[in-house]
């Protein structure tokens, strides 16, 4: 089960990134060209948040099954000295939870705004902040914090 969760979490990461980038592209284009907020824009907003929530569920399941996390919490005082263990045990999950909360708030605020320009602006700000945090928290192969392959 752990291997399957790791694989799914790795694949859905790319869906989250693509959906956020696409939502930001649509929001940027809509905001700066004064377009009307369409049903397609609303669908992108909704599905971006939904994909992020699916990733959150997979991440929480993976976190609860991970031998790395289990070791981290059983040996907290010694394990916290190892930065990679600290990254996966606390930093990664904290930053990802914050980013999903930001996506959720941004989606809810955009949904409730009256004008198209306000909806696009909210998506740009909130989804942009979330994407920045996600980029920091992903264990990229080149990351100095912790690294993993692009696909597992």
Quick one: average pLDDT of 101-111? Answer: 97
**pLDDT above 90 (res 26):** yes
How far is C-alpha 28 from the geometric centre of its chain's CA atoms? 19
| Angle of CA points 92, 95, 97, to nearest 5° | 105
Q: Give me the number of domains the chain comprises.
A: 1
pLDDT of residue 58: 96
Give the Å distances, CA to CA, from 150 to 6, 28, 141, 143: 12, 28, 7, 11
Instruction: Examine residue 118 and state whether it is found in any structural domain, yes or no.
Output: yes
Residue 79 lies in a domain: yes
Alpha carbons 42 and 92: distance in angstroms, whole number: 29
Q: Is residue 147 part of a domain?
A: no
By residue count, the chain amounts to 152
Give this prediction's pTM: 0.90
In a domain, 152, yes or no: no
For residue 59, tell me if it sits in a domain.
yes
pLDDT tier, 142 (very low <50, low <70, confident <90, very high otherwise): confident
Mean pLDDT, rounded, of the chain: 93
| Model confidence at 151: pLDDT above 90 | no
In the predicted model, what is the mean pLDDT of residues 60-80? 91
C-alpha radius of gyration, the chain, whole number: 17
Contact 123, 24 (CB under 8 A): yes
Q: Is residue 151 part of a domain?
A: no
- What integer is the mean pLDDT of 7-18? 95
% of the chain residues with pLDDT over 90: 78
On whether the CB atoms of residues 9 and 58 are closer than 8 A, the answer is: yes
Predicted confidence (pLDDT) at residue 100 exceeds the cutoff of 70: yes
Residue 150 domain-assigned? Answer: no
pLDDT for 2 equals 85
d(CA 59, CA 53): 10
115 occurs within a structural domain: yes
Mean pLDDT of 66-77: 91
- Domain containing 45: what range? 2-137
């Amino acid at each position: 089960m752990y291997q399957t969760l790791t694989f799914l979490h790795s694949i859905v990461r790319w869906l989250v990134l693509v959906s956020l980038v696409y939502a930001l592209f649509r929001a940027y284009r809509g905001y700066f060209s004064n377009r009307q907020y369409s049903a397609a824009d609303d669908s992108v907003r909704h599905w971006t948040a939904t994909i992020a929530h699916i990733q959150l569920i997979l991440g929480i399941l993976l976190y609860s099954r991970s031998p790395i996390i289990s070791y981290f919490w059983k040996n907290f005082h010694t394990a916290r000295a190892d930065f990679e263990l600290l990254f996966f045990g606390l930093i990664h999950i904290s930053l990802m939870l914050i980013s999903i909360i930001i996506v959720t708030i941004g989606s809810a605020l955009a949904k409730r705004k009256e004008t198209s320009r306000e909806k696009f602006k909210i998506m740009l700000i909130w989804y942009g902040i979330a994407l920045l945090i996600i980029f920091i928290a992903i264990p990229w192969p080149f990351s100095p914090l912790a690294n993993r392959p692009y696909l597992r």
